[in-house]
Structure 1
Amino acid sequence: MDFSALQTFLSTTVAELAVKVLASIAFWVIGRWLIAKVVALTQASLNRSQVDATLSKYLGSIVAVALNIALVLGILGYFGIQTTSFAALLAGAGVAIGAAWSGMLGNFAAGAFMLVLRPFKVGDFVSVGGVVGTVHELGLFATTLVTPDNVLTTVGNSKVFGDTVQNFSALPVRRVDRTAQLAAGVDPLDAIARLRAAVAKIPNVATNPAPDVALLDMNLNGCVIAVRPYTHTANYWQVYFDTNEAIVRVAKEAGWPAPMPAQVTHIVQG
């Protein structure tokens, strides 16, 4: 056995393989850096063109996936692997993976439909898939929300698209629903006038439509007054809490007694 020839072959092969591995690592690092730059420039260009933030992020995700696949194919081609054979293998694997990951493909399709139908956009306050929050991102497979208690929550696009979508930011104002329970003997018409005047002074309450203050119901405690001001979604909780404070303040200033269940006692003598 010619050990010198074997040694020369191994040293040459190992050296070439080491160069290719190092070059592949360099290609991967530089390629990923360039992909990030391209995606950032693409989204910046779309933002300058005043394209909706939801669409720009969605297109950025698609560009990133496509460029990463191209990068992997390029590295494989550098190693001498026939990319056409790899593409055929990838297509065959894609069928099997598609059958196994039908849920993921459903999320992708739902995201595409939502991008076209536009039931909401980034920054809207919505209720989707049983989650209430502000839309942070509409991704390829999932929608990310920030809930009112500041928790980042991810919901699959298929669940979002297949369930009821409530967009609280679509209209200029939304209604705040509160009630005032009166004690028996308190004049409801006087209470309505006092509450209507108090609610009108709350900051950020819309004048059109005007707040709804009316007799809602009657029970054993007395009359129930509906207090329903309108405001922009951004001011909802401020108006909600201020309305509660206004109801308490009006009751205190008017000297209304605390509502108590009315009881009637009948004494029957035998």
Structure 2
Amino acid sequence: MNFQNIIDVVSTQLATFGLKILGAIAVWIVGRWLIGLAVRGISAAMTRQHVDPTLLRYIGNIVSVALNIVLVVAILGYFGLETTSFAALVAAMGIAIGAAWAGLLANFAAGAFLVVLRPFKVGDYVKVGGIEGTVMEVGLFASAINTPDNVLTIVGNNKIFGDTIQNYSTNPYRRVERTAQLNHAVDVNDAISRLKAALVQIPNVVAEPTPTVEVLDFTPMGPVLAVRPFCHTNHYWQVYFDTNKAIRDTCGAAGYPVPEQHFHVRQG
């Protein structure tokens, strides 16, 4: 074989390989577009059936991952790689990765339980894994929580499922906890009556159950009142701050003396 024949063979092989590369790129681009189209179609169909947003996103993620794996296997088959061997390799890699990434798989399993048991859904205000905020997404391995100070926080699903879950959106109302420190000279019954009247005037305080004001404790400065209006969780902080203002304005308008701690010093 002379040098020209070698060049011809190499050129032919490179041209064939180049065409395969271009074909693989085309398959990848078209495949990704079709996967996106399929995921959007499935999501639209489930949305029309009023499927819960949490389950909708979870299924969308699973379908996307599965179709991308199929696409990669198809491209490898296009290059002549034995896909059955590849499947065995993927299975072996899965075992190895499963042993190394036990925590990641635990997050995946916990995510499945969160979707099935549904202790919360997208849009709920919760406290999970030590993080409090609004649920933005329940993903395959982690959930996205938007905190009240507008920080997007990602929490592993296993941490959520293995810890206490508090869902503030489940019940129709929640109690706002505030206290009012009084002076010893203040008539407690008068203060309770005034504060109850002020609480019902606060916007978004529910009528039932009615706000409660009771003697909670005693300090060296005087009695401490528990001031407790009720509201929907969406209005919690507005009612919280308005209750503080109501306590200050009510005590000021009544002319109550400022709570003070007095000491008597005796010399023997």
TM-score class, shorter-chain normalisation, is: over 0.9
Give, as a single letter, the amino acid of the residue that structure 2 aligns with 1:241: F
- What's the offset of the Cα at 1:246? 0.4
Does 2:5 match 1:41?
no
Displacement of 1:160 in angstroms is 0.4
What is the CA-CA distance between 1:4 and the residue it aligns to?
Answer: 2.3
| Residue 206 of structure 1 pairs with residue 209 of structure 2 | no
Q: What secondary structure is seen at the aligned counterpart in 1 of 2:207? A: coil
Code of the residue aligned with 2:23 in structure 1: it is: A
1:49 partner letter: Q
User: What is the CA-CA distance between 1:266 and the residue it aligns to?
Assistant: 3.7
Return the alpha-carbon distance in structure 2 between the equivalents of residues 19 and 153 of structure 1: 45
Give the C-alpha shift of residue 264 in structure 1.
2.9
1:21 aligns to what?
21
Task: Give 1:1-270 correspondences, 5 Å limit.
Answer: 1-266=1-266, 268=268
| Alpha-carbon distance, 1:74 to partner | 0.6
User: Does structure 1 conserve the Cα–Cα contact (< 8 Å) formed by 2:185 and 2:257?
Assistant: no
Q: Distance in 2 between matches of 1:124 and 1:110?
A: 18
Structure 1 CA distance for aligned equivalents of residues 231 and 214 of structure 2: 18
> What is the letter of the counterpart of residue 61 of structure 2?
S
How far does residue 263 in structure 1 lie from its aligned partner after superposition?
Answer: 2.3
Contact 1:182 1:222 (8 Å CA) reproduced: yes
Counterpart secondary structure, 1:264: coil
For the residue of structure 2 that corresponds to 1:68, the secondary structure is helix
Matched length: 268
- Give, in whole Å, the separation in 1 of the partners of 2:258 and 2:266: 24
Asked if the contact 2:178–2:244 (Cα under 8 Å) also holds between the matched residues in 1, the reply is: yes
SS of the equivalent of 1:116 reads helix
Counterparts of 2:267 and 2:149 in 1: how far apart (Å)? 55
Shift of 1:267: 5.3
Q: Secondary structure at the match of 1:51?
A: coil
SS of equivalent residue, structure 1 residue 134? strand
Question: Is contact 1:213–1:228 with CA below 8 Å preserved after alignment?
Answer: yes
Identity %: 57
Q: Do 2:73 and 2:83's aligned partners in 1 also have CA atoms closer than 8 Å?
A: yes
DSSP-derived class of the 1:263 partner: coil
Q: CA RMSD in A?
A: 1.0
Rounded to whole Å, the distance in 2 between the matches of 1:22 and 1:39 is: 26
Shift of 1:8: 1.5
Whichever residue aligns with residue 129 of structure 1, its letter is G
Distance 2:241 2:48 in 1: 39
Q: 1 CA distance for matches of 2:185 and 2:267?
A: 24
Gaps of 5+ in 1: none
Off by >6 Å, runs of 4+ in structure 1: none
CA distance, structure 2, for counterparts of residue 61 and residue 83 of structure 1: 24
Contact 2:114-2:161 within 8 A present in 1 as well: yes
* Distance (whole Å) between structure 2 residues aligned to residue 248 and residue 58 of structure 1: 48
Q: Is contact 1:184-1:262 (8 Å) kept?
A: no
Distance in 2, matches of 1:36 and 1:183, equals 67
Query: CA shift at 1:38, angstroms?
Result: 1.3
